[in-house]
Homo-oligomer: A and B are copies of this chain.
């Protein structure tokens, strides 16, 4: 894919009912931010990042036009906000899943009257994008699939349902219990019934199996990227790896398999050649906490312009996205396969669950695997599940001799200098 003159997307955006004036403002800001964070502040980037740069450069264009074409052919577009909604099921029904979380406070003006002040930046942003008609992906969706992973999102679906069809999947709270698993499987069946109605398609074991194989392959490519980050030679910046994860949430899975796969090939080669993006003695940071939706690159940018490098993200836009996996995809019926799907998703350790000791174990394991010199626990303000866990985790990790810094922030730039000071002090201590 080569970067050429962008087509005129205005007719499409107008057809989608976007607020063109606000949308123009949004698209005016993004290139400068991207250039400052990704282009000017980095050297020796992998060539394979060219594709991802291109995707950002045309963020509301080519992918949206693909969705439009698919929609014209009768395919349904399904918006999701959390990795607990299995893409496998959506694609198996020949629909297209698009992750819709928002990573900038630009859109907050459209949601501020609908939400309390004390709610997380991600929810404010996502609702603002949708309700403010500045997100063509949201505008393209036929239905939004919510979940019950946190109080804020659970109640946000009620607001969104005044604007769009919304279906909520009840995700479990005590996931390790057999009754929670049984309940989750019933909920997935409810989702299937809903999606069958919307798509007019019927789920079969064959279709589900095929979709499971494809999404698994997609996850495997992301896993390959992360594997290379464990090496002494770090072949990709944290910022770039984060961008790859962020784009995985809404790009076409087949293209993702190809392009992330290509990047993984390159990174594996780089590791062999010892061709890193930073010196091998650069301090290695593991980030753990709340997701970072595009274009939330704030923490990575501060860390990586302070002389350190992010080697892994124990987040939903990081390892939680791909680590849990099917042992083997086998089963004669959709029921058999759904058990595999449920177990794969229940294998993800999010702070929305109680207890969630496995997340702490994940962090400890990742510190070793990625040879991290320190951990930054990252919490979006007002995200109570991660906020509570960070207090206990910080104490335990410190006790075990792992340097930790806890950061609670949002999408504003007001605290950037303060964060930079704290992070630099932390890095000097390592």
Taking beta carbons and an 8 Å cutoff, which residues of A are in contact with B? Answer: 113-116, 118-119, 148, 150-152, 154-159, 161, 168, 170-174, 177, 179-180, 182-183, 186-187, 190, 351-352, 354-356, 381-382, 384-385, 387-392, 408
Shortest C-beta distance, A325 to chain B (Å), equals 26
- Expressed in whole angstroms, the Cα–Cα distance for A146 and B372 within the complex equals 36
Q: Does B170 contact A385, Cβ atoms closer than 8 Å?
A: no
Shortest C-beta distance, A152 to chain B (Å), equals 5
Q: Does B116 contact A155, Cβ atoms closer than 8 Å?
A: no
Q: Does B177 contact A190, Cβ atoms closer than 8 Å?
A: yes
18 contacts between A and B (CB under 8 A): A116-B387, A118-B381, A118-B382, A119-B384, A148-B173, A151-B384, A151-B385, A154-B173, A155-B388, A155-B389, A158-B356, A161-B355, A170-B172, A171-B173, A173-B173, A180-B183, A382-B382, A384-B384
Identify which of B118, B150, B156, B179 contacts A118 (C-beta below 8 A): B118
A157-B354, A158-B392 given; 8 more Cβ-contact pairs under 8 Å = A116-B387, A148-B173, A151-B151, A154-B173, A155-B389, A158-B389, A159-B392, A179-B183
Which B residues lie within 8 Å of A159 (CB)? 388, 392
Identify which of B155, B157, B351 contacts A384 (C-beta below 8 A): B155
Q: Does B155 contact A174, Cβ atoms closer than 8 Å?
A: no
Q: Does B158 contact A114, Cβ atoms closer than 8 Å?
A: no
Shortest C-beta distance, A9 to chain B (Å), equals 34
Shortest C-beta distance, A380 to chain B (Å), equals 11
Shortest C-beta distance, A419 to chain B (Å), equals 17
Identify which of B158, B387, B388 contacts A158 (C-beta below 8 A): B388
A150-B151, A155-B385, A156-B388 given; A177·B173 CB < 8 A: no
Q: Does A391 contact B115, Cβ atoms closer than 8 Å?
A: yes
Which B residues lie within 8 Å of A381 (CB)? 118
Ordered nearest first, which 10 A-B pairs have the shortest CB separation? A155-B388, A148-B173, A179-B186, A116-B387, A183-B183, A151-B384, A170-B174, A151-B151, A170-B173, A154-B354
